[in-house]
Structures are given as C-alpha cells and as structure tokens.
Amino acid sequence: MADGLTLECVRESLIRQEDTIVFSLIERSKYPMNSPVYVEGFADIPGFTGSLVEYVFRKTQAVHSTVGRYESQEEHPFFPDNLLPSLLPSYNHPKVLHPAGDAININTTIWDMYFNQLLPLFATEGDDGNYAQTAACDLECLQALSRRIHYGKYVAEVKFKDSPDDYGTLIHAQDRDALMKLLTYEAIEEMVKRRVEKKAMAFGQEVTLNGTDKEVKYKVDPFVVSRLYVEWVMPLTKLVEVEYLLCRLD
Ligand SMILES: C=C(O[C@@H]1C=C(C(=O)O)C=C[C@H]1O)C(=O)O
C-alpha cells in the first residue's frame, strides 16, 4: 500500500496496546475505589467546581496539548474545549487518515463506561486517601482505552483501501448495518478475547521464588478483562470504524 499501512501491522499495534491496557488496570487495582476522587466539589480548588479526577484530566491534558500530544491523529483529548496548540516545532506526523475522521471523538462514552461500569467491577471497596495517585491511574487507563478504541479509524482506513469497491457502495448508501457486518471478523474477536484473558493471568499473577502449589491470585480478574473487551472495547472500536467509514468519502 502507498502509505505502508497494512491490516497486519494495524493488528500488531492493537495487540501491543493490550499490554498497556492490562498493565494500566493492574496499576489502578493497587488502590481501592477511593470515591472522593469522583465527587464534585470534594476538593476546594479555587475557580473549579468539578471532581478531582476531572481536574487532573484537564490540567494534565492542557500540558500535554502544549507539548504536542494531540498533533498525532492517534490521540484524542477527553476535554477538548479550550486546549492550547502545541508550542513545539512541528514534527509533521504522517496524516494517513481522511481529515473528516478527525472530528470523531467518543471519549464521553468511554469515560461513562469506565467510571460507571468497568471500575466497580475491579476496584475494591474502600478509601486509603491516595487520591492523586488514583486519579493518575484512571488517566492512564482511560488514555490507553481511548487510544485503542479510536485506533478503529486506522483499522477502517486499511479495510477501505483493501476493498474500496465493497466499502464504497455501502458508504454511498450510508448503510451502517451492512458496514458493521462487512468489517466484522468474529474469529479475530474470539482470539482477542482469549488473548487478553491470558495476558491478565500472565501479567497479574504473584511471582514467588519458592511458592509451589499456592492458589494463584490475580491482581485483576482475567474474566473482567475479557468482559471489558467483549462488551465495550471491541464494540466501541467497531463503532469508530463505522463512523469513520461513513465520512470516508466526504
Ligand atoms: C479491529 C478489527 O475490526 C473488528 C474489531 C476487532 C477488535 O476490536 O479487536 C476485531 C475484529 C473485527 O471484528 C480487526 O479486524 O482487526
């Protein structure tokens, strides 16, 4: 392909991103729920009324924006309003995606999924006062999930370039359901599901030098990780793929 992007290399990146996601969940699981982090107005921050986690996101992303994070088409901010442009000399990141896809940002949905559905599945009850550390871990988890899910744009671009006629017809018809069917590979999804569960077992087990038959305890339940992928990560990636394809010929 002209720009060197293949489905194989895009899938390799998704596989590598699984490691980041599993490790970030393991890191978050060091802390209990720490619910004050999510309560609006808990922190007495002058001029700010949101939750501590929102504050950490906004401040961190503001810094990252001025040093060029969102110049890359792979990155999507959670609070895109009022971000300042990069102060760095331009790197000229390759623009392999169709520009109409730049407007697709489903971080609000990812945010809701993470805090309302996923976190209660693996964070233990309790409060140990490590609020800043907890918010920093949430930031890592959410950025990794957002990057993976929005990588659907790259997946869709490659699939479109591999079969422009098949996709083109459905794009002209704006047929969402048929696009979803065409881009879905159930056998690949089954492999992803099994692999992330195995990674959660491998990365999250206690490593001892002399332990033998002790019951294995995982830092994050491998079943929660596979459920995360089956219920949210893969469906949302495919949603991004469909949204991208719908505007691919604009
Ligand atoms: C990402 C792809 O598209 C779809 C989504 C998948 C995923 O999110 O892991 C896997 C297979 C496909 O159904 C792909 O084909 O690799």
Q: How open is the CA angle 194-218-115, to the nearest 5 degrees?
A: 80
Residues 220, 200 contacting (CB under 8 angstroms): yes
Residue 16: CA count within 13 A, CB half-sphere: 8
Residues 202, 218 contacting (CB under 8 angstroms): no
The two tokens of residue 217 are: 């305890």
Taking the whole predicted model, whether its pTM rises above 0.90 is answered as yes
Torsion angle, CA of 33/39/45/48, rounded to 10 degrees?
130
Ligand 1 pocket residue status of 240, Cβ below 6 Å: no
% residues pLDDT > 70 (the chain): 97
What spacing in Å lies between the alpha carbon of 15 and ligand 1's midpoint?
11
Ligand 1 pocket residue status of 237, Cβ below 6 Å: yes
Ligand 1 pocket residue status of 228, Cβ below 6 Å: no
Closest CA to 70 of 53, 51, 86, 90: 86
What spacing in Å lies between the alpha carbon of 41 and ligand 1's midpoint?
40
Q: Identify the band that residue 87 occupies on the pLDDT scale cut at 50, 70 and 90.
A: very high
Q: Which residue has the higher pLDDT, 210 or 52?
A: 52
pLDDT tens per residue, range 195-248: 999 999 999 998 888 766 567 889 999 999 999 999 999 999 999 999 999 999
Distance CA 4, CA 96 (A): 10
Ligand 1 pocket residue status of 223, Cβ below 6 Å: no
Residues 163, 248 contacting (CB under 8 angstroms): no
Of ligand 1's listed atoms, the one at least distance from the Cα of 152 is 1
